[in-house]
A and B are shown apart, each in its own frame.
Chain A
Amino acid sequence: MSAVTSVRVGDAAGTTTPAGRMAALARAELALLGRAKATLLVAVFVPLVMPFSLRASIDQMDLDGTGLSVGSVLLPATIGFSLLFAVYSSLVSVYAARREELVLKRLRTGELRDREILAGAALPSVAIGLVQCVALAVACAALLDVGAPRAAHLALLGLLLGLIMWPALAAVVASFSKSVEGAQVAAMPLLLVSMLGSGTFVPLEVMPDRLASLCELLPLTPVITLLRGGWTGDLSAYDTLGAVAPAVAWTVLAVFAVRRWFRWEPRR
């Protein structure tokens, strides 16, 4: 196509929309994710492999009297891993890498709003996380005899909060690093604490009470609680509120922190 033959589209037709802009960014990010083999491998396979390594240890747990089954422990845990590895961990790297390559700064000179940049960049990871969660839920339901969720709305609420909270937390953590490698290290503490303390490896029900009530305040715990309650259907209104409140609090806090402290340019 030459300069002569191109005709400027009318302003109304050519004006971009938030959805269109985010879609363009998400498409580019998806291509980049496909080329970042190591990140992709961790994002896709860790959450899929983890359940099998957990299975043996959960089998040996004394779940009598906790109202839990192997399936209802394992399923939320696998979704939790998906949020941690496919969404959180990979997005910390993505945000840091785009910042260090000055991509974020360059994007900010265009029509994209700040929140569209962060959301658009997160879309492919969130989509992978979502697909994984659904696939894992179906697989667990079928293979572990968990059945369909009895209170699906709680499971959905948990998933939704998780999918907003963890990209935001990734953006916050990415702000506290000076390089992509540094970002991966910065991502570790929250990753480890969440794996150990949010009822993925060890259900809170089998922990000492004091430790359990502390662990209930971690960002991943309410997500796990809501997911598990969604499947067992035995989460009381009081317990639901007790899970939704910290989940909303973490989400609001993370979004606020991003707006306040997110760094768009490398520290020079």
Chain B
Amino acid sequence: MNTNGHKDVIEVTDLRRVYGGGFEAVRGITFSVGRGELFALLGTNGAGKTSTVELLEGLAPPAAGRVRVLGHDPYRERVAVRPHIGVMLQEGGFPSELTVGETVRLWAGCTSGARPAAEALELVGLGRRSGVRVKQLSGGEKRRLDLALALLGRPEVLFLDEPTTGLDAEGRQATWELVRELRDEGTTVLLTTHYLEEAEDLADRLAILHEGRIAATGTPAEVTASQPSRIAFDLPDGYFLGDLPPLAELGVTDHEAAGRRVRLRTHELQRTATRLLLWAERARVELGGLDIRSASLEEAFLRIAREAAGATEAALEGSRGGATARKGAAV
């Protein structure tokens, strides 16, 4: 059971995936997704999103750890799991010489309780493209065909690996709308994306992956809440940082000044902004280029990536230093 009191549809415990060459793409991750929940896996390229999803889809066995989808091992018990899941891989996988209609019929023949082909294509707005060869579709249309096939069997659980990559803004909105409807009808959805906006808009909960590990997880609000809000402005002529009220009093946790530009970080945006603006009012000065923004998922994401990169650099630095020291000793 998860916090929402729903029975978990996807359970992942200390999951690891190691590729043939020894590369460990997934390094011990744990999360669960409840029925009817939309869970997003976020991460930079190479963070391990697809490697994780493929394990959930049952395409490969994990090197270690446990996966359960609808209570079954998706790899060993794929016969029990497959009729209830819909999958959209990161990259198509349709014979380019088949028509759209033929592709859907092929899938319908392999899918229990399949929707009629026309209905599936209508869902994703490809109703008029049935007679067109797959190779003639645009990248976005291919993604939508893929989505139609994933939805063909009215799955209980939907795995969408970067469903909107290559779509234009309109197509992206349409896909989001469709995914939202499915979620509202009770479909459990796990999607990966590198569009932060997509996760912020759609996800009930999310996890940010970095180098095969979960760097942050929670609802979008929770993940964002841990991040500070930002206020930036230009100091008026003749004023210095010290002329402002004491920063601690403003609730500022961190600040930087570059020339006249001042950047403040705070966890109490309203208090900081109010006091800053009241000060400006009283001092009768104009804060040029004033920019006040609350914490966003993007900020959280960038910060996690930055911190992790910093840690990696520090580790590299350390090992380089060690190597030099050893070299020195040898000489």
Contacts and interface: CB of A to CB of B under 8 A. Distances in A.
Interface in B78-132: 79, 82-83, 87, 89, 91-98, 102-103, 105-116, 118-119, 122-123
B109 A21 contact: yes
Interface stretch (A27-35, A83-91, A223-231, A249-257): A27-35
Nearest to B99: A31
B73 interface: no
A23 B95 CA distance: 17
B311 to A, nearest CB: 28
A102 B93 contact: yes
Contacts of A15: 83, 112-113
A8 B113 contact: yes
B119 A111 contact: no
B154 interface: yes
B119 A3 contact: yes
Interface size class of A (residues with CB under 8 A): 35 or more
A207 interface: no
A189 interface: no
A28 B106 contact: yes
B59 A111 contact: no
Contact of A9 (B92, B103, B106, B113): B113
Contacts of A102: 89, 91-93
Nearest to B88: A109
Nearest to B85: A109
Interface in A91-123: 97-98, 101-113
Contacts of B79: 111, 113
A27 B109 contact: yes
A101 B83 contact: no
Interface of B is mostly: loop
Contacts of A2: 119, 122
Contacts of B97: 31-32, 35-36
A24 B118 CA distance: 17
Given A15-B83, A106-B93, A111-B83, A21 B122 contact: no
Contact of A111 (B82, B96, B106, B122): B82
Nearest to A4: B119
Contacts of B154: 8
Contacts of B112: 11, 14-16, 111
Interface of A is mostly: helix
A154 B228 CA distance: 81
Interface size class of B (residues with CB under 8 A): 35 or more
A230 B177 CA distance: 65
B8 interface: no
A25 interface: yes
B57 interface: yes
A98 B98 CA distance: 12
Contacts of B59: 105, 108-109
Given A6-B115, A106-B92, A109-B59, A31 B109 contact: no
Given A3-B123, A28-B95, A102-B93, A109 B113 contact: no
Nearest to B105: A24
Contacts of A3: 119, 122-123
A109 B108 CA distance: 14
Interface string B142-168: 000000000000100000000000000
A110 B95 contact: no
Contact of A103 (B95, B108, B115, B118): B95
Given A3-B122, A15-B83, A109-B57, A24 B93 contact: no
Given A6-B116, A8-B113, A111-B110, A106 B94 contact: yes
13 contacts: A1-B118, A3-B119, A14-B112, A15-B113, A23-B109, A28-B106, A104-B93, A105-B93, A109-B57, A110-B110, A111-B110, A111-B112, A113-B79
Given A24-B106, A109-B82, 6 more contacts: A9-B113, A15-B113, A21-B110, A101-B92, A109-B87, A113-B79
Interface of B: 57-59, 79, 82-83, 87, 89, 91-98, 102-103, 105-116, 118-119, 122-123, 154
